[in-house]
Amino acid sequence: MIEITNLSKNFGKMPALRSVNLTFSKGECVALIGPNGCGKTTLIKSILSMVIPSEGKIAVFGESITNNFAYRRHIGYMPQIGRYPDNMTIRQVIDMVKDIRASTTKNRDIATDESLIEDFHLAGMEDKRMRTLSGGTTQKVSATLAFLFKPEIIILDEPTAGLDPLSSEVLKDKILTEKQNGKLTLITSHLLSELDDLVTSIVFMQDGAVRFHKSVDDLKNFTGEEKISKAIATILKNQSHE
Amino acid sequence: MNRIITYIVLNIVRSNIVVVYTLLLAALSWGIFSVEDNTSKGILTLLNVILLTVPLVSLIFSTIYLYNSSEFIELLLSQPIRRSTIWWSLFWGLTLSMQLAFLLGAGIPIYVYAPPDVGLIMIAMGLCITAVFVSIAFLSAILTRDKAKGIGIAIMAWLFFALMFDGLVLFLLFQFADYPIEKIMVGITALNPIDLARVLILLHIDVSAMMGYTGAIFKDFFGTTLGMIIALGILLLWVAVPYTVSLMKFNKKDL
Amino acid sequence: MVVHAGHYKEGNIIIARSITFIGLGRPVIDGQRKSEVISIKAPYVTMRGFKVIRSGYATLNDPCGIKVYDSHDVTIIDNIVDDTFFGIYLQYCRKCVVKNNRITAYGIEEQQIGNGIHCWKSDSLQIIGNTISGHRDGIYFEFVTNSVIWRNVSTANIRYGLHFMFSNSDAYISNVFKNNGAGVAVMFTHKVKMFGNTFIENWGDAAYGLMLKEISDSYIIGNRFSRNTSGIYMEGTSRILVEKNIFGSNGWGMKIQANCMDNTIAGNNFISNTFDVATNGSLVLNTFNGNYWDKYEGYDLDKNGTGDVPYHPLSIFSVIVEKNPPAMLLFRSFMVSLLDKSEKMMPSLTPDNFIDTLPRMHALPL
């Protein structure tokens, strides 16, 4: 579903991505991990065209995303820190996004999925203005928006940061359900333990380059470890010995 | 009007600063006209409001708004919407809101008190100047990621157009007083949207002086329909050029 | 002699006897663009009720609608003069009356049209209630003395509404001069009285409501100057009293050249002028007193109706524009307002004795 070929990005002279090649397909749940500043967010933003690549190309459903905007109808995105117009209420933000989305297509009735509103217990606070919300609640709104249009591809940037454990579980359940529906999910996180039962493959990035891209099963078999975090630690150790 | 513009306008109109701006303009305008028994003096004070306050507020508010809505822009960018559509919507959202504030705050008292032709040109110029400085705000906001720097650029732009430019022109006038520079001066005036708006308004307030002494310059250029169209065209360029440059930069910008 | 209605093409009609020449039903006398139409060469002639049209057009012998030669006690009244080179022409006349005539021409260029009422080397004339438009000068006086010009309306003439030279001891009263190419010019004359006239909408590079050149011992009282490029322009005038006039919405209320002296400008209203006063030098030999200036920002603590601080009617920008006309481009810009304000507080470029010491707080009821 997503094909990334030779993607490089420089911010000024600083390379943020160095010829990244990745392919993600249907039903996968990919964890993008790596230390801070390794290029995870840049990669995600490149897929969303929020960052314009210096070199290389990205295709979504076979369509190049260069000078293309329509492909984003397939993607739901939850940013690391979501900020919304201060004066609007939660309901207004959701309605606005729906309204704006509807205005981009001829077909005015888009199927939406607002189940997260219930699951996050947002329903009672829909009339609160965005500026009065806590960080966690804002994250819940962001998550709701990411799943709102039943996208084929879901991109979550540090989704559980700021969420309480209960809500994290809700979100994980949601991701799991969508995975079973055959959606592609990309998650960045540096809390590996959180991803154990979710992810099907792992992309480890360092200094803007992909160190490895392996399925979880391969990873576990290869290292003989049960926990993903341990498996990664082992593999990194091995690589540095080579 | 597309949906995004509607939402931006609704959002801005609700913000305190625009309400304060509207009330400030209203208080100034109604105040001036009711205190002065001489309408023409009130008009002159309002002229300065249009030439100084309107550009300043349009410029600074729009710049800050753009910086503060980076997340909102991200939210929109994750939707299947063209970048140019987003930028365009932001521009019109801001312009229309500021113009609305101007119309409600200053437009109504001008309409009530000023003679029709003077009032009309003042309101038209107020609207034009608003659009021009919103456009310049877009350019200054896109030139740098740093909010403080961006606002700095905006303030410098305002100082330049409102004050320094005229000082420069005055200096040139004296330096080249012995040469026939009237036409060149008209050309130079067109380089500053505030000056252009001022001259167009002056042609209606100080009609006797403007049509006379320096008649050759004013009457033959700004006084004619063609001149008026050219002047308006230049003002439009002042809206279009900074906006287009900022759009080109925005299309390539990493968020 | 009574002429009945009709269209007469008689060529040049010469009136050589003292007759009363009356048109009934407004007979038309047509000069067919060939010659002068009516020539009056006798005294005690009265001409009334005609329509005189289409005189010849030539610049050499100045063909007229009605011309009076070396005569006296001639009365020209209630006639219409249309499309003639000169309208009514009086030379070497005394005690003549030109009254209630309507004189219209359609001139485009100054050189190709004559004057409406042209008076030369005459005395004791009365020019009353005529309406003149489209000529070179509406009314032209040269070497005419002891005469009165009263209640005429002179509009849209190519050069001056009234052109007045070497004509001492005349008075013109309650006339309207509107939208003439260069306003009204009064030159090289003394003892002129200008009362209650209206000068409006005389716009142009060298247009003045009233232009005074080398005038002395005269009175300008109770006139109204509105929407002119300059209300009054004075050059080389002395001992003139300018009093109780209204200067409203002019580009310049008064332009007083530095070679004017001993003039008194008192008790006038200056309202909504772009500039109230301008001058070209630093010498001040004229007196301003007790005028109302709407730009005055002083106070009146003793409530006597007179401001407690003097008013400087001369703005620095008017001085700048005088030297450098294109600077008008910067008028009312913030820069210039700053300049004006600081100059008002500490005069440096403008003469500091150019003041009205008794500025009025309220407009005079004029």
Measure the CA–CA gap between B116 and A168, rounded to whole angstroms: 64
The confidence band for C111, taking pLDDT boundaries of 50, 70 and 90, is confident
Percent of chain B with pLDDT over 90: 45
Measure the CA–CA gap between A4 and A203, rounded to whole angstroms: 13
Is A242 a residue whose pLDDT tops 60? no
Beta-bridged to residue C66, according to DSSP, are C38, C88
The confidence band for C51, taking pLDDT boundaries of 50, 70 and 90, is very high
In this structure, are residues A42 and A18 in contact, taking their beta carbons and an 8 Å threshold?
Answer: no
A94-108, A147-161, B235-249, C32-46: segment of lowest average pLDDT: A94-108
Measure the CA–CA gap between A105 and A99, rounded to whole angstroms: 10
Q: Which of B218, B5, B162 is nearest to B95 (CA)?
A: B5
Q: How far is CA B26 from the centre of its chain?
A: 18
C-alpha separations of C240 from A209, C211, C221 in Å: 94, 13, 10
- ipTM score of complex: 0.83
Q: Which residue's structure tokens are 């630690």?
A: A233
What number is the average pLDDT over the span A80-95? 83
Question: Average per-residue pLDDT in chain C?
Answer: 90
pLDDT at B123: 94
Is B125 a residue whose pLDDT tops 90? yes
List the single residue in C with minimal CA-CA distance to B164: C335
Q: Do A72 and B78 touch (CB under 8 A)?
A: yes
Burial class (CB in 10 A: 0-12, 13-18, 19+), C348: exposed
pLDDT at B220: 67
- Structure letter (DSSP) for residue A208: T
Print burial letters for C221-240: b (CB count within 10 Å at least 16), e (below 16).
Answer: bbbbbbbbbbbbbbbebbeb
For residue A119, the number of C-alpha atoms closer than 13 Å in the C-beta half-sphere is 19
Measure the CA–CA gap between B236 and B10, rounded to whole angstroms: 25
Question: Average per-residue pLDDT in chain A?
Answer: 86
Q: Could you tell me what percentage of chain B is helix, strand and coil, using 3-state DSSP and rounding each to the nearest 5? A: 85, 0, 15
Is B197 a residue whose pLDDT tops 80? yes
pLDDT at C67: 93
Is B114 a residue whose pLDDT tops 60? yes
Give tens-digit pLDDT for A167-196: 888 998 898 898 888 899 999 877 666 677
The confidence band for C154, taking pLDDT boundaries of 50, 70 and 90, is very high
pLDDT at C50: 93
The answer for residues whose C-beta is within 8 angstroms of residue C133's C-beta and 6 or more apart is C103, C104, C105, C116, C154, C155, C156, C157
Measure the CA–CA gap between B208 and C230, rounded to whole angstroms: 8
Q: Is B146 on the interface with A (CB under 8 A)?
A: no
CA triplet A110, A112, A114: central angle to 5 degrees? 160
In this structure, are residues B112 and B123 in contact, taking their beta carbons and an 8 Å threshold?
Answer: no
B167-181, B215-229, C260-274: segment of lowest average pLDDT: B215-229
The confidence band for B203, taking pLDDT boundaries of 50, 70 and 90, is confident
Percent of chain C with pLDDT over 70: 100
Q: How far is C209 from chain B (nearest CA, A)?
A: 11
DSSP string over B90-140: HHHHHHHHHHHHHIIIIIHHHHHHS-HHHHHHHHHHHHHHHHHHHHHHHHH
What number is the average pLDDT over the span B148-155? 94
Is A83 a residue whose pLDDT tops 80? no
List chain A residues with CB under 8 Å of B145.
none
Please give the helix or strand (H or E) that residue B35 lies within, else none.
helix B16-35
Please report, for chain A, the start and end positions of each structural domain, with discontinuous segments joined by +.
2-241
- The token duo for C165 is 């030279």
pLDDT at A108: 63
CA triplet A84, A85, A88: central angle to 5 degrees? 105
Length of chain C, in residues: 366
pLDDT at B48: 85
Q: Is C362 on the interface with B (CB under 8 A)?
A: no
Q: Do B214 and C323 touch (CB under 8 A)?
A: no
Measure the CA–CA gap between B161 and B194, rounded to whole angstroms: 7
The answer for residues whose C-beta is within 8 angstroms of residue B164's C-beta and 6 or more apart is none
Within 10 angstroms of residue B110's Cβ, the number of other Cβ atoms is: 26
Measure the CA–CA gap between C28 and C6, rounded to whole angstroms: 6
Q: How far is C52 from chain B (nearest CA, A)?
A: 36
What number is the average pLDDT over the span B25-47? 83
Is B182 a residue whose pLDDT tops 80? no
pLDDT at A240: 67
The confidence band for B218, taking pLDDT boundaries of 50, 70 and 90, is low
Give pTM, 2 decimals.
0.81
What number is the average pLDDT over the span A142-153? 91
Give tens-digit pLDDT for C296-335: 888 889 889 899 988 988 888 888 887 787 788 788 888 8
Please report, for chain B, the start and end positions of each structural domain, with discontinuous segments joined by +.
3-251
Print burial letters for B176-208: b (CB count within 10 Å at least 16), e (below 16).
Answer: eeeeebbeebbebbbebbbbbbbbbbbbbbbbb
List chain C residues with CB under 8 Å of B52.
334
Give tens-digit pLDDT for B234-250: 999 999 999 999 999 99
Measure the CA–CA gap between A9 and A20, rounded to whole angstroms: 10
What number is the average pLDDT over the span B200-220? 69
Is B209 a residue whose pLDDT tops 60? yes
Is C348 a residue whose pLDDT tops 90? no
Measure the CA–CA gap between B67 and B141, rounded to whole angstroms: 7
Q: Which of B187, B194, B89, B86 is nearest to B136 (CA)?
A: B194
End-to-end CA distance of chain A: 33
Q: Is B11 on the interface with A (CB under 8 A)?
A: yes
pLDDT higher at A227 or C255: C255
The answer for residues whose C-beta is within 8 angstroms of residue C93's C-beta and 6 or more apart is C68, C70, C71, C72, C74, C119, C122, C123, C125
| A151: phi then psi, degrees, rounded to nearest 5 | -70, 160
pLDDT higher at A209 or A106: A209
Measure the CA–CA gap between C267 and B112, rounded to whole angstroms: 33
Question: Average per-residue pLDDT in chain B?
Answer: 87
Q: Which of C91, A158, C326 is nearest to B182 (CA)?
A: C326
Is B216 a residue whose pLDDT tops 70? no
What number is the average pLDDT over the span A7-11? 90
What number is the average pLDDT over the span A189-213? 82
Is A237 a residue whose pLDDT tops 90? no
pLDDT at B211: 60
Q: Which of B93, B86, B97 is nearest to B16 (CA)?
A: B97
Give tens-digit pLDDT for C204-222: 777 899 999 999 999 999 9
pLDDT at A121: 87
Measure the CA–CA gap between C348 and A209, rounded to whole angstroms: 72
Instruction: For the domain covering A2-241, report its CATH number.
Output: 3.40.50.300
Q: How far is CA A88 from the centre of its chain?
A: 25
Burial class (CB in 10 A: 0-12, 13-18, 19+), C61: exposed
What number is the average pLDDT over the span C113-122? 93
Is B223 a residue whose pLDDT tops 80? no
pLDDT at C61: 77
Q: How far is B155 from chain C (nearest CA, A)?
A: 16
Give tens-digit pLDDT for C267-305: 999 998 888 998 888 778 899 999 999 888 888 898 898
> Which residues of chain B approach chain C closer than 8 Å at the C-beta?
38, 40-41, 44, 47-48, 51-52, 162-163, 166-167, 169-170, 173-174, 177, 181-182, 185-186, 189, 194-195, 198-199, 202, 205-218
Is C48 a residue whose pLDDT tops 90? yes
Q: Do B80 and A83 touch (CB under 8 A)?
A: no
pLDDT at A131: 85
Domains in chain C, please, with CATH?
Answer: 1-181 (2.160.20.10)
Q: Which residue's structure tokens are 């809206």?
A: B239
Measure the CA–CA gap between B4 and B82, rounded to whole angstroms: 12
What number is the average pLDDT over the span C141-165? 93
What number is the average pLDDT over the span C116-130? 94
Give tens-digit pLDDT for C160-193: 999 989 999 999 999 999 999 888 999 999 999 9
In this structure, are residues B22 and B105 in contact, taking their beta carbons and an 8 Å threshold?
Answer: yes
pLDDT at C337: 83
Task: Find residues 220-279 of chain C whose CB sits inside 8 Å of chain B.
Answer: 227-230, 249-252, 271-275
- The token duo for C326 is 């294109």
Give tens-digit pLDDT for A32-73: 988 888 888 899 999 999 899 999 999 999 889 988 888 998
The listed range with the strongest mean pLDDT (A161-175, B174-188, C130-144) is C130-144
In this structure, are residues A47 and A68 in contact, taking their beta carbons and an 8 Å threshold?
Answer: no
Q: Is C180 on the interface with B (CB under 8 A)?
A: no
